[in-house]
A and B are shown apart, each in its own frame.
Chain A
Amino acid sequence: MASGNLALGQEEGESSARPRVVNDFSIIVATVNGSGSQSANSVLLKSIFGMGVPVSGKNLFPSNIAGLPTWYTIRASKDGYVARKRESDVLVALNPETAREDIMALPAGAVAIYEEYLNLSTYRDDVVCYPVPFDKLTQAVCPEAKLRKLVKNMVYVGVVAQLLGIDLKVVEKGVQKQFAKKQKVFDLNFGAVETGYEYARVNFTKRDPFFIEAMNGTAGKIIVDGNAACGMGAVFAGVTVVAWYPITPSTSLIEATTDLLKKFRVTPEGKATFAVVQAEDELAAIGMVLGAGWAGARSMTSTSGPGISLMAEFAGLGYYAEIPGVIFDVQRAGPSTGMPTRTQQADLLSTAFLSHGDTEHVILLPGSVRECFELSYAAFDLAERLQTPVFVLTDLDLGMNNWMSDPFAYPEKPLDRGKILSAEELEKAGGFARYKDVNGDAIGWRTLPGTEHPKAAYFTRGSGHNAAGGYTERPDEYQEVMDRLSRKFESARKLGPTPVVFRNGRSKVGFIAYGSTDFALRESLDQIEKEHGLAVDYLRIRAFPLAREVHDFVASHERVYVVEQNRDAQMASLLKLDLAAEQVVKLRSILHYNGLPADARSISDEFAAKEGL
Chain B
Amino acid sequence: MATTSANGATGPKVNHIGLPMVEYRGGKSTLCAGCGHNAISERIIDAMWEMGVQPERVLKMSGIGCSSKSPAYFMNRAFSFNGVHGRMPSITTGAVLANRTMQALGVSGDGDTASIGMGQFVHLMRRNLPMIYIIEDNGVYGLTKGQFSATADIGSKLKTGVINELPPIDTCALAIQLGATFVGRSFSGDKKQLLSMLKAAIAHRGTVMLDVISPCVTFNDHEGSTKSYKFLQENDEPINEIGFVASFDDIEVDYDSGQVYSVEMHDGSQLRLRKLLEDYDPTNKANAVRTLMEAHEKDEVLTGIFYIDAQKETFIDQLNLVEDPLATLPESLVRPPKSALENLMANLQ
A residues near B (Cβ < 8 Å) are 220-224, 232, 235-241, 243, 260, 264-265, 267, 270-277, 279-281, 283-299, 313-314, 317, 407-408, 410-411, 414-415, 447-454, 456-463, 471
Categorize the interface residue count of chain B.
35 or more
- Segment of B73-81, B167-175, B195-203, B209-217 engaged in the interface with chain A: B73-81
B345 at the interface (CB under 8 A from A): yes
- Segment of B94-102, B186-194, B292-300, B305-313 engaged in the interface with chain A: B94-102
Query: With A and B bound together, what is the CA distance between A243 and B98 in angstroms?
Result: 12
B25-55 to A contact mask, C-beta < 8 Å, 1/0: 0000000000000000000000000000011
How distant is B91 from chain A, measured CB to nearest CB, in Å? 4
Chain A residues closer than 8 Å to B5, beta-carbon distance: none
Which 9 A-B pairs give the minimum distances between C-beta atoms?
Answer: A291-B94, A287-B90, A296-B327, A238-B334, A297-B98, A295-B98, A292-B94, A288-B94, A222-B348
How distant is A522 from chain B, measured CB to nearest CB, in Å? 22
Contact present for B341 and A294 (CB under 8 Å): no
How distant is B161 from chain A, measured CB to nearest CB, in Å? 33
In this complex, what residue of A is CB-closest to B91? Answer: A291
Query: With A and B bound together, what is the CA distance between A239 and B326 in angstroms?
Result: 9
Which of B119, B327, B342 has a CB less than 8 Å from the CB of A284? B119
In this complex, what residue of A is CB-closest to B326? Answer: A240
Contact present for A283 and B326 (CB under 8 Å): no
A-B contacts besides A264-B336, A285-B90, 14 pairs, CB < 8 Å: A232-B341, A238-B331, A241-B94, A260-B344, A277-B93, A287-B87, A291-B90, A291-B93, A292-B97, A293-B94, A295-B99, A317-B84, A449-B102, A459-B80
Chain A residues closer than 8 Å to B322, beta-carbon distance: 267, 271-273
**CB pairs A–B below 8 angstroms (28 shown):** A222-B345, A222-B348, A237-B335, A240-B327, A243-B93, A271-B323, A280-B119, A280-B120, A283-B90, A284-B89, A284-B93, A287-B83, A287-B91, A288-B90, A288-B93, A293-B94, A295-B96, A313-B87, A314-B84, A415-B331, A448-B99, A449-B99, A450-B101, A452-B54, A458-B80, A460-B81, A460-B82, A463-B82
In this complex, what residue of B is CB-closest to A420? Answer: B328
Chain A residues closer than 8 Å to B321, beta-carbon distance: 271-272, 275
How distant is B253 from chain A, measured CB to nearest CB, in Å? 34
Q: Which of B54, B76, B87, B92 has the most CB of A within 10 A?
A: B87
How distant is B118 from chain A, measured CB to nearest CB, in Å? 11
Q: Which of B55, B81, B342 has the most CB of A within 10 A?
A: B81
Contact present for A454 and B82 (CB under 8 Å): no
Query: With A and B bound together, what is the CA distance between A458 and B344 in angstroms?
Result: 42
Contact present for B334 and A241 (CB under 8 Å): no
Contact present for B80 and A457 (CB under 8 Å): yes
Given contacts A221-B349, A314-B87, are A457 and B79 in contact (CB under 8 A)?
yes
In this complex, what residue of A is CB-closest to B319? Answer: A275
Contact present for A272 and B93 (CB under 8 Å): no
Chain B residues closer than 8 Å to A462, beta-carbon distance: 82-84
Query: With A and B bound together, what is the CA distance between A74 and B91 in angstroms?
Result: 44
In this complex, what residue of B is CB-closest to A463? Answer: B82
Chain A residues closer than 8 Å to B327, beta-carbon distance: 240, 292, 295-297, 448
Query: With A and B bound together, what is the CA distance between A287 and B78 in angstroms?
Result: 20
B55-82 to A contact mask, C-beta < 8 Å, 1/0: 1110100000000000010001111111
Contact present for A294 and B97 (CB under 8 Å): no
B325 at the interface (CB under 8 A from A): yes
Chain A residues closer than 8 Å to B96, beta-carbon distance: 291, 295
Contact present for B326 and A241 (CB under 8 Å): yes
How distant is B319 from chain A, measured CB to nearest CB, in Å? 5
Chain A residues closer than 8 Å to B338, beta-carbon distance: 410
How distant is B337 from chain A, measured CB to nearest CB, in Å? 9
Contact present for B348 and A292 (CB under 8 Å): no
B162 at the interface (CB under 8 A from A): no
B340 at the interface (CB under 8 A from A): yes
Chain A residues closer than 8 Å to B82, beta-carbon distance: 459-463
Chain A residues closer than 8 Å to B93, beta-carbon distance: 243, 277, 284, 287-288, 291
How distant is A373 from chain B, measured CB to nearest CB, in Å? 9
B333 at the interface (CB under 8 A from A): yes
How distant is A238 from chain B, measured CB to nearest CB, in Å? 3
How distant is A234 from chain B, measured CB to nearest CB, in Å? 11
Which of B72, B87, B101, B348 has a CB less than 8 Å from the CB of A223? B348
Given contacts A238-B335, A415-B331, A457-B80, are A450 and B120 in contact (CB under 8 A)?
no
